[in-house]
Amino acid sequence: MTPWIHLTKKELRLGFPAFLFSMIGSFGVFVLWFVLGIESGFIWEGMMMWSVLAILFNFFYLVFYMSYSLNAERKRMHLWLHNPLPTYKLLLAKFVSGLFYMFIFLFTIIIVIGVSYGNVNFSMQMDDWKMTFYLSVAYYLIFIVSNGWGFTFLWTVYMSFIKFIHPFFSFVLTIVILMFLFWMIDLSSVLFQWGEIESHLITGFEFTATEETFHLNFGEIPTTFYIGHFIGALLLILFFFIGSAWILDRKVEV
């Protein structure tokens, strides 16, 4: 465990530029919204809207981070894969460091939301919001993790193809595999339709702002969530993880 912890610390150092880049970019957008808020008289409301945009960006943060980290290893692939640790631990170290930075970014968003919420006359209309909130957080985190491991899996597939065929055709074949995965996931989803949870699905939102209040109204429809879908998503993440390690170990030789 100790060598893996040292490797993870190393990955945190190597991945810091990607984290710094994302923070600088998000801060630039934050300043833009803040200036627009000053000009319109809705400073805190503008910060709330920045938070919404940042949450949406965070959906793909691990994809961005793993893309940066894995492509950095392409320049020294022979050194990276000759590490005495198993391949799955090499990938896990990168992913844990990405999660660490992702949660720091998410924590800054929560702070901005907390400060903004306390400084606006804010009202929100949404039925059964607690259950919807908990389910949304669960889906949000699972979606982020599955995106990260899904990209890692496709990256290893691409790297295995590029050994034998032109990079362009390797990219095309990787896209074909991605579409096949989407088709298989949709086809097998019926197998995981068990453990019903009645709640609401957010279909969109709209807001109105006046001098007195900032009102946020969510569009929602009654829907059924399935515990089985959560289990299926976790199994998909496990497949991506094991598949990435296997391909990198057996097919991407140096």
Handedness of CA 134, 136, 139, 142 (dihedral sign): negative
Residues 141 and 242 in one domain: yes
217 Cβ contact partners less than 8 Å away, ≥ 6 residues apart: 124, 125, 126, 205, 206, 207, 208
pLDDT 10s digits, 97-142: 999 999 998 888 888 777 776 666 555 555 556 666 777 788 888 9
Co-location of 91 and 139 in the same domain: no
Of 61, 95, 118, which residue constitutes the final position of a domain? Answer: 118
For 86-98, how does the pLDDT look when each residue is reduced to its tens digit (9 = 90+)? 888 889 999 999 9
Domain co-membership, 182 together with 250: yes
| pLDDT of 203 above 70 | no
CA–chain centroid gap for 154, Å, is 15
Asked if residue 69 and residue 138 are part of one domain, the reply reads no
Q: What is the mean pLDDT of the chain?
A: 79
Question: In the chain, count of helices (H) and strands (E)?
Answer: 8, 3
Strands 122-125 and 196-209: unpaired
Range(s) of the domain holding residue 29: 1-118
**How far is Cα 74 from Cα 76, in angstroms, rounded to an integer?**
5
Asked if residues 45 and 37 have their Cβ atoms less than 8 Å apart, the reply is yes
Q: In whole angstroms, how far apart are CA 122 and each of 111, 114, 118, 173, 202?
A: 16, 12, 9, 49, 19
